[in-house]
Copies of this chain bind each other. A is one copy, B any other.
């Protein structure tokens, strides 16, 4: 990479291009990120046509806009001719209107019509990630004719490894893998070899559900049907991997009390980013005052035994962490399909047992620590330790139950996120703490 920069500086473009044209498009796209806008545009123009399209499809939105604004209509046509159909749609989904216009002017009238149809599919639908570049066969084709057909039409297809068998009205009759075609006799007929009960999705299906099908059935691609069961596209596994990753990212964001977003961090403005975080922080800030009010309610106790205040942060944090452990486990388990609704009772009984072991252990450790290192009385140590124990048990049960309730109510369990659970558990922990203090340290102590 150092060498390339050297070649560029010395304007030895010919040598530079020879080297670049030898790279994989994914590596080039990464290299291009390192360049400034002008360098990027100059070098991009020097790439082979196919490679240029490949690199382009892997660039960030901003870089794509810069490039399209910098090249001629002819250049745009070259670029588009090498792009897969679904990449074209992706591109147009994200572009500012004036750039999108410039792009659309350079596709054929027919293609423009289909692209515009595809642009209408909702953002998280199967329709918005499908491509029209698949191989279709007819039931009456022989294997040898099917192979001939694949050879003739396959070059520009996203995949040829699964072919789709349709009738004259484009209704899906079945699917057949290239493996089955290759393995069969030349005279065999597609209709006899195909899998009739093929798994398919609808344009309006949610992308996450489609991803779940890929995982369950180990698919490489899936046919997408309209509401009259006509084949209008396919979804391939490379796009599904992106969906799986976005899904995980969404859950991470929600559990950290942020609105989920598919936008790129670097190209999103400061105020949009701030907005996505303020709402939840505000909700949680206000709900944390509940905890504050509990402290306010028991102020007389704290006045009499101010040393009790010292343990409040530890109790709050331990409860919050213990609850977050359980809720994370359940939320993730449900997200990847490992935990089903019928497991509810099994989970609760297991979490109860785990919480007893964890609670007793940490309660004892805490008791010893307070006696030995904090120099407090046995009754204070006892108050704190019993609170630790009870808080952990309650926190784990709350953390397990809330996501399950959320799902039953049709809400996203990740939305009932860790911080919200924390607030609930904080309140529980403090109520326990002060009431135990009253019982163990004796009401008389606080009378004066």
19 A-B pairs with CB atoms under 8 Å apart are A26-B216, A215-B245, A252-B252, A252-B331, A252-B332, A257-B325, A270-B354, A273-B350, A277-B325, A281-B318, A281-B322, A282-B362, A288-B314, A288-B316, A291-B314, A292-B311, A292-B312, A302-B302, A313-B426
Which of A38-46, A65-73, A338-346 lies on the face that meets chain B?
A338-346
* Contact present for A317 and B278 (CB under 8 Å): no
A346 — which chain B residues lie within 8 A by C-beta?
266
Write out, one digit per residue, whether chain A residues 293-329 have a CB within 8 A of any chain B CB (1) or not (0).
Answer: 1011001001100110111111011101110110111
Minimum CB–CB distance from A51 to chain B (whole Å) comes to 14
A141 at the interface (CB under 8 A from B): no
Q: Which 8 A-B pairs have the closest CB atoms?
A: A256-B328, A291-B313, A274-B357, A288-B314, A292-B310, A248-B248, A288-B317, A270-B353
Which of A75-83, A154-162, A223-231 lies on the face that meets chain B?
A154-162
A347 — which chain B residues lie within 8 A by C-beta?
265
A289 at the interface (CB under 8 A from B): yes
Minimum CB–CB distance from A214 to chain B (whole Å) comes to 7
A443 at the interface (CB under 8 A from B): no
A369 at the interface (CB under 8 A from B): yes
How many Å lie between the Cα of A295 and that of B217 in the bound state? 56
* Contact present for B418 and A284 (CB under 8 Å): no
How many Å lie between the Cα of A248 and that of B253 in the bound state? 13
Residue of B with least CB distance to A328: B256
Known A24-B217, A182-B147, A312-B292; contact A306-B299, beta-carbon cutoff 8 A: yes
Minimum CB–CB distance from A313 to chain B (whole Å) comes to 4
Residue of B with least CB distance to A239: B218
How many Å lie between the Cα of A172 and that of B270 in the bound state? 49
Residue of B with least CB distance to A266: B346
Contact of A252 among B26, B238, B328 (CB under 8 A): B328
Known A292-B313, A328-B252; contact A286-B154, beta-carbon cutoff 8 A: no
A293 — which chain B residues lie within 8 A by C-beta?
310
Residue of B with least CB distance to A306: B299
How many Å lie between the Cα of A306 and that of B302 in the bound state? 8
* Contact present for B253 and A241 (CB under 8 Å): no
A302 — which chain B residues lie within 8 A by C-beta?
302, 306, 309
* Contact present for A321 and B289 (CB under 8 Å): no
How many A residues touch the partner, as a band?
35 or more
A244 at the interface (CB under 8 A from B): yes
Write out, one digit per residue, whether chain A residues 201-235 have a CB within 8 A of any chain B CB (1) or not (0).
Answer: 00000000000001111101000000000000000
* Contact present for B318 and A354 (CB under 8 Å): no
Write out, one digit per residue, whether chain A residues 261-274 have a CB within 8 A of any chain B CB (1) or not (0).
Answer: 00011100011011
Contact of A284 among B264, B282, B321 (CB under 8 A): B321
A361 at the interface (CB under 8 A from B): yes
A124 at the interface (CB under 8 A from B): no
A411 at the interface (CB under 8 A from B): no
A365 at the interface (CB under 8 A from B): yes
Known A324-B257, A357-B274; contact A316-B313, beta-carbon cutoff 8 A: yes
* Contact present for B285 and A325 (CB under 8 Å): no
* Contact present for A273 and B354 (CB under 8 Å): yes
* Contact present for B178 and A161 (CB under 8 Å): yes
* Contact present for A318 and B182 (CB under 8 Å): no
Minimum CB–CB distance from A20 to chain B (whole Å) comes to 14
How many Å lie between the Cα of A317 and that of B295 in the bound state? 15
A265 — which chain B residues lie within 8 A by C-beta?
329, 333, 338-339, 347, 350
Contact of A161 among B161, B362, B422 (CB under 8 A): B161
Contact of A150 among B182, B255, B327 (CB under 8 A): B182
